[in-house]
Amino acid sequence: MNPMDIDVALANLLEKYQVAIGQPVCLGLKEDDEQLQLVPGHFFGTVLPKINQIPLLTWRTARKFTELKKIVEDTVIQDPCLFRFCCMGDPVQWSLFSLLYRELDLLEYIGNSKVLSVQAVISDQKAGNVMVRLENQALCSIEVSIQMPVGSSMIERHEIIARRGVTSDLVVDTQIPQSSVYCYTSQGETHFTDVDNELFGLDNLQIEHVRSAFRVLEKPDLAENWRQQHLHLCTLIDMVFESNNMHQRIFSKGGQI
């Protein structure tokens, strides 16, 4: 399956699982009001999605985040105190906006609490460091950068430290995500992390895109939920940039002033 086939991949899933949809769908933004367009929420920027456009929180379908959320929700770790999130990508694929959008959503999703306040510093519109307080009082760091060389894999870390236990998507005593296959040949060094056999051949961002679109089509109520979260995330990102500009902690609406 090549990178152009994500629409085909989605169609196959819909057919396989007999999910009926009432209108044509696509996984890109188009000037066609008849098509239901499902794209990652940060693609919209701060522009309000049209009625036929659904912002997807694609990362929520990644298995590792599902498991991290489950570990917190099932109190495998108990009483989270500190969240340490980091995400660095290349400037072609990512922007500070898109990384902040992703990480703030993951924070609320895994932390099971809304953002109370943010205090941010940003340099050169390329790197940002945000301290976040959740409504449950947990303290969180979000480090983002788009200064990885073009074509680099994303480097990320999501660690939650609780009174009982720590959970993380990074191996203890390592600095970068690990792969499942390392291939050393005369052609050089390559590595692979395949996570979805039904969608084998797509890269992980494409898999998240297809899976999240499928989830929304399977459970249509989710569309409005994610649309509301999209608007909320745009507000949070505004708060981040306002905090950077004002050198102030900014509280979310309803939070402490």
Partner 1 sequence: MKPVKIAILSLTHGHTRKYYQSLNDNPKLEWLAVYAETEKVRDNFLAWGYNIPCYMNGNEMFDKHPDIEAVVMASANNVHLRQFRSCAERGIHILSMKIPSFDMEEYAEMIDLVAKSGIVCQIELELHYNPVVARMKDILEKDELGNISAFNATNITLSPVWAFPWQGVPEESYGKRVPLCPGDNRFRGGALCDHPHVFDMIRWLTKSDFDFVNAAVGPNIRPDLVVEDTILVNGKMKNGVSFLFDTSWSRLEERLEVPGPGWEIYPKRMEVNVTISGEKGVVLVDCFGPNVYHNGKPNDRYTVQYTYFDEWIGMMDEFVDCIRNNKTPKINLSWHRQTIEVINACYESVASGKSVYL
**Going edge to edge, which strands form the sheet with 36-40?**
25-26, 36-40, 53-56
- Distance in Å, CB of 22 to partner 1, minimum: 46
Question: For partner 1, which residue of 128, 211, 213, 250 counts as binding (CB under 8 A)?
Answer: 128
Asked whether position 19 contacts partner 1 by CB under 8 A, the answer is no
Q: How far is the CB of 112 from partner 1 (least distance, A)?
A: 15
Count the alpha carbons within 13 Å of 64 in the hemisphere toward its beta carbon.
18
By CB under 8 A, residue 143 contacts partner 1: yes
Enumerate residues 6+ apart whose C-beta is below 8 A from 159. 83, 84, 85, 166, 167, 168, 169, 170
One of 4, 22, 163, 181 touching partner 1 (CB under 8 A) = 163
Q: Using CB under 8 A, which of the segments 64-72, 103-111, 129-137, 212-220 binds partner 1?
A: 129-137
Amino acid present at 15: E
**Residue 170 interacts with partner 1 (CB under 8 A): yes or no:** no
> What distance in Å separates the CA atoms of residue 35 and residue 15, rounded to the nearest whole number?
18
Shortest Å distance, C-beta 174 to partner 1: 8
123 lies in the binding site for partner 1 (CB under 8 A):
yes
Nearest distance in Å: CB 108, partner 1: 17
Binding region for partner 1 (CB under 8 A) out of 41-49, 66-74, 161-169, 202-210? 161-169
Q: Which is nearer to partner 1, 36 or 99 (CB)?
A: 99
Sole binder of partner 1 in the list 54, 62, 72, 86 (CB under 8 A): 86
149 forms part of the interface with partner 1 (CB under 8 A): yes
For the chain, how many residues are written?
A: 257
183 lies in the binding site for partner 1 (CB under 8 A): no
- Least distance (Å) from partner 1 to the CB of residue 184? 19
Among positions 13, 115, 138, 216, the unique one binding partner 1 when judged by CB under 8 A: 138
Question: Does 176 interact with partner 1 (rule: CB under 8 A)?
Answer: yes
Phi, psi of 206 (to 5 degrees): -65, -40
Distance CA 9, CA 46 (A): 29
- Give the span between the Cα atoms of 58 and 207, in whole angstroms: 9
Q: Which of 233, 215, 222 is nearest to 107 (CA)?
A: 233
Q: How far is the CB of 116 from partner 1 (least distance, A)?
A: 11
Residues found near partner 1 in the complex (CB under 8 A): 79, 81-82, 84, 86, 88, 119-124, 126-131, 133, 137-139, 141, 143, 145, 147-149, 155, 161-163, 166, 172-173, 175-176, 247-249
